Amino acid sequence: MNCHQYQKAMVQDRVELGPVLNAASKEDPANLSQFGVTNFDINTHCAMLNRDLRTLPNFVLGSVLEMSAHFKEGQFKTIVLGEYIEHCVPAVVKKSLLECKKVLSDDGMLILTFPLDARPPKSQHAERHLKVWLEGETGHDITVWHQTVWEDDMLEELFSETGWTVVKKDPVSYAFIKGRNPQGWGILLEKA
């Protein structure tokens, strides 16, 4: 199952429980909009696809790092944070997961999907697309390219430090990952 199929399956199982947030939604490649989700992204335009993200249903402009400024405490039963954490340095992911906790209901679930992509940036994108989305403290806090490979020990520490419990962890496929098994993870988390 690829990452988008995983996201769809998880959301389809949970959509009747209450509101769903598609955080860092980009152009909604998994088509979660069909389930009435709120799409949330820091960009209004996807340059690689030349698409105006404001045309997505229920689009809200904002940063995952400041979700609680846009949404009420406990507003969502499910949050999808797909293909995001690999673009970030660990400190940014910690802050992002803490923000998810604020807007997720106490009995809600967080769905993470991410590739285990160790390719150099220039192997991931054309050089003209290699940009930093958020400079932050490191000068490259969030990038277009995949900069962090989240190994199991890193994930365990991340979830422990941010107060999450793994409910389910499944391998997911990514066509651009070669010679690695698993190619990525789909993880269902609940508040600890």
pLDDT of 127 higher than 80: yes
pLDDT of 49 higher than 90: no
Q: Could you tell me which of 156, 155, 165, 161 has the C-alpha nearest to residue 191?
A: 165
Please write the tens of the pLDDT for every residue from 57-69.
999 999 999 999 9
Q: Could you tell me which of 33, 154, 170, 165 has the C-alpha nearest to residue 86?
A: 154
Please write the tens of the pLDDT for every residue from 60-114.
999 999 999 999 999 999 999 999 999 999 999 999 999 999 999 999 999 999 9
Helices (H), 40-182: 90-103, 121-124, 152-162
pLDDT at 83: 97
118: which 2 tokens?
């160790």
pLDDT at 11: 98
Please write the tens of the pLDDT for every residue from 3-42.
999 999 999 999 999 999 999 999 999 999 999 999 999 9
Average pLDDT of the chain is: 95
- pLDDT band at residue 128 using 50, 70 and 90 as cut-offs: confident
Provide φ and ψ at 147, rounded to 5°.
Answer: -110, -15
- pLDDT band at residue 46 using 50, 70 and 90 as cut-offs: confident
Number of domain units in the chain: 1
Higher pLDDT, 73 or 138: 73
Q: What is the residue-wise DSSP string for 23-66?
A: ET-TT-TT-GGGGTPEEEES-SEETTTTEEGGGSTTEEE--GGG
pLDDT at 126: 84
pLDDT of 160 higher than 80: yes
CB 170, CB 7: distance < 8 Å? no
Q: Which domain holds residue 98?
A: 3-191
Element (H, E) at 125: none
SS3 5: helix
pLDDT of 48 higher than 80: no
SS3 20: strand
pLDDT at 74: 98
Q: What percent of the chain has pLDDT over 90?
A: 86
pLDDT at 45: 86
The CATH number assigned to the domain holding 23 equals 3.40.50.150
